[in-house]
């Protein structure tokens, strides 16, 4: 059995595949043209945020399963997979602790202006500390949007380590433990000093943080996104940053155009 590795994975993962009798084939690039060529003769494919578009799925001759090593599977063309009879799987919770810690780190970096301070020191700039405002997170309100393994893990960290009040917005989660629910997205945004996104990409969540959401947001809030790029209207975010509605945004995910677009 042969498995195409669309994006690099840890050597330990490759060893596990070989031990199970699966021959991993490493793809030199995740672009559709390269994957379409490499996928021939493969029974399975493992991918990450690059997903798997329709072209290589439809070009495959033996493909039976596509696995995303992570929770997000929106970058896999499931319509094409269904047409070819290919099973699409994900691994929810497998990297939840890592992403929860990343979200915490991004919050702290945004609140303390760590990246900007680093650039200032390296460039020899003086007076950075006196010229900027920094924020402590202790005792502040965190609004966690999406209460899966990652969002819940972050909420527990923020409460235990920083004594933050944690508000949750997650209509599909039955239990948020001792943490308070916000009745609506706008209700939570109005109270939040920090907003962290952990919800999947669905039709109802696409662009959920846009002009209407920013208008409802508490001025000076910090926005963190470690979930899906499409949850945020990036043009609206750029406007919110320029106006001071959002004090800082820490984005682990963003559109391909973001570095050269309004957020660049």
Share of the chain above pLDDT 90, in %: 82
* 223: exposed, middle or buried (Cβ count in 10 Å: 0-12, 13-18, 19+): buried
Give the confidence band of 138 by pLDDT, cuts at 50, 70, 90: very high
Q: pLDDT digits over 68-84, tens only?
A: 988 778 889 999 999 99
Mean pLDDT in residue range 174-201: 95
Q: pLDDT digits over 17-69, tens only?
A: 999 999 999 999 999 999 999 999 999 999 988 999 999 999 999 999 999 98
* CA quadruple 230, 232, 234, 239: dihedral, nearest 10: 170
Q: pLDDT digits over 99-130, tens only?
A: 999 999 999 999 999 999 999 999 999 988 88
What mean pLDDT value characterizes the chain?
94
Q: How far apart are CA 36 and CA 46, in angstroms?
A: 14
Q: Is the pLDDT of residue 264 over 80?
A: no
The answer to whether 205 and 231 have CB atoms below 8 angstroms apart is yes
Mean pLDDT in residue range 212-238: 96
Question: What is the token pair recorded at 248?
Answer: 């800082």
User: CA-based angle 89:91:95, to the nearest 5?
Assistant: 155
Please report the pLDDT score of residue 105 as a whole number: 97
Please report the pLDDT score of residue 49 as a whole number: 85
Task: Quickly count: other Cβ atoms within 10 Å of residue 21's Cβ.
Answer: 7
Task: Quickly count: other Cβ atoms within 10 Å of residue 78's Cβ.
Answer: 16
Please report the pLDDT score of residue 235 as a whole number: 95
Give the confidence band of 157 by pLDDT, cuts at 50, 70, 90: very high
């Amino acid at each position: 059995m042969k498995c195409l590795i669309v994006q690099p994975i840890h050597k330990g993962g490759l060893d596990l595949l070989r031990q199970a009798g699966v021959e991993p084939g490493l793809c030199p690039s995740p672009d559709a043209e390269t994957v379409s060529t490499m996928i021939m003769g493969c029974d399975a494919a493992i991918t990450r945020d690059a997903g798997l578009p329709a072209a290589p799925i439809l070009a495959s001759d033996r493909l039976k399963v596509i696995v995303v090593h992570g929770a997000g599977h929106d970058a896999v063309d499931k319509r094409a997979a269904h047409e070819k009879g290919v099973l699409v799987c994900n691994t929810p919770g497998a990297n939840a602790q890592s992403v929860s810690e990343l979200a915490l780190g991004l919050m702290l970096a945004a609140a303390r202006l760590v990246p900007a301070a680093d650039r200032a020191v390296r460039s020899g700039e003086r007076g950075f500390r006196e010229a900027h405002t920094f924020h402590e997170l202790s005792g502040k309100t965190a609004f966690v949007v999406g209460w899966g393994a990652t969002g819940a893990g972050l909420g527990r960290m923020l409460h235990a380590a920083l004594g933050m009040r944690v508000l949750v917005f997650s209509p599909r989660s039955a239990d948020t433990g001792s943490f308070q629910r916000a009745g609506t997205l706008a209700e939570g945004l109005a109270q939040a000093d920090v907003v962290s996104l952990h919800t999947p990409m669905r039709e109802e969540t696409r662009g959920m943080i846009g002009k209407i959401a920013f208008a409802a947001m508490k001025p000076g809030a910090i926005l963190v996104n470690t979930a899906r790029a499409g949850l945020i209207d990036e043009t609206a975010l750029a406007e919110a940053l320029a106006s001071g509605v959002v004090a800082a945004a820490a984005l682990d995910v963003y559109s391909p155009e973001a570095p050269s677009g309004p957020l660049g």
